[in-house]
Structure formats: C-alpha cells, structure tokens
C-alpha cells in the first residue's frame, strides 16, 4: 500500500528543517496545496528514523541542520529511489559535488515555487 493510500489519497512529503518557524510554515504550505507533511525532522538521525518508519513519496531537505548537513538523508532517499529537493539560501554550485544537479528551492520559499517543485518531483 502506498503512502498516498494511507493519507486520504494525499502523497506524503518528508520535511527536514531545523528552524521551527520555517518548518511550521513549510508544513502548512504543503498541507494547503494538498499533500501530507511528515515531520519535521530537525537532525540527520531524526530524519533517517522518520524515513525508515513511514512511507514517503518525496522529501524537502534543508542543507544545513545545526552543524550537520542533510547529504546522508539525500543519499538514503536516493537509495530508496525517492525524489527530493534541497532547501537553502545557497546556490546549487555551493552544494557538495555530486549534489549540484539536485533540485534546489531557494529560501525564503513561496507557495507557488513549492507547488511547482513538488509537482515536478512527483510528476503530478
């Protein structure tokens, strides 16, 4: 059973963001555009636990998480074949090599940019 069947037909988006206000806004926007928000995770270990506990359809990963980076989460999602986008004030050329071609949503995130990116990630 896919996660979309367990969340009232909505696809599930894993949120990895260590800033409480940004995470809350992001979760509200995700719900407002019709997806189910899972999380937020505030650290790499918390995100990996959430990723292993529930089926998700995609992820939105803040690059910097209080001294850690979300690259291990991105690796785990890629291993599972799950799409993701990074969230950052960085530009793509500032990401670690191997991740510079990954989708990137620039902060501050607008609901329109979020809707468009999720639609592309999920091919809606």
The confidence score (pLDDT) of residue 102 equals 87
| Residue 115 resides in a domain | no
Q: CA dist 6 to 9, 10, 84, 90, Å?
A: 7, 8, 20, 35
| Neighbouring C-beta atoms of residue 29, cutoff 10 Å | 19
Distance spanning both ends of the chain, measured CA to CA: 19
Task: Check which CATH number belongs to the domain holding 91 and give it.
Answer: 3.40.50.2300
| Residue 73 resides in a domain | yes
The domain total for the chain is 1
Note down the domain range covering 30: 3-110
Cβ-contact 38, 77 below 8 angstroms: no
Q: Give the model confidence (pLDDT) of 68-113 as tens digits.
A: 999 999 999 999 999 999 998 878 888 888 888 889 899 999 999 9
Closest CA to 34 of 122, 106, 102: 122
| Residue 116 resides in a domain | no
| Residue 86 resides in a domain | yes
Q: Give the model confidence (pLDDT) of 59-74 as tens digits.
A: 999 999 989 999 999 9
Indicate if the pLDDT at residue 3 is higher than 80: no
| Residue 120 resides in a domain | no
| Residue 53 resides in a domain | yes
The confidence score (pLDDT) of residue 4 equals 43
């Amino acid at each position: 059973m896919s996660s979309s069947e367990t969340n009232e037909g909505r696809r599930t988006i894993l949120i990895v963001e260590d800033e409480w206000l940004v995470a809350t806004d992001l979760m509200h926007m995700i719900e407002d555009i019709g997806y189910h928000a899972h999380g937020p995770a505030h650290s790499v270990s918390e995100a990996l636990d959430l990723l292993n506990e529930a089926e998700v359809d995609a992820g939105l990963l803040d690059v910097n998480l209080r001294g850690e980076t979300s690259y291990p989460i991105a690796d785990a999602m890629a291993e599972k074949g799950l799409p993701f986008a990074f969230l950052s004030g960085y530009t793509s050329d500032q990401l670690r090599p191997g991740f510079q071609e990954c989708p990137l949503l620039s902060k501050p995130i607008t609901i329109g940019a979020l809707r468009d990116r999720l639609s592309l990630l999920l091919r809606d």
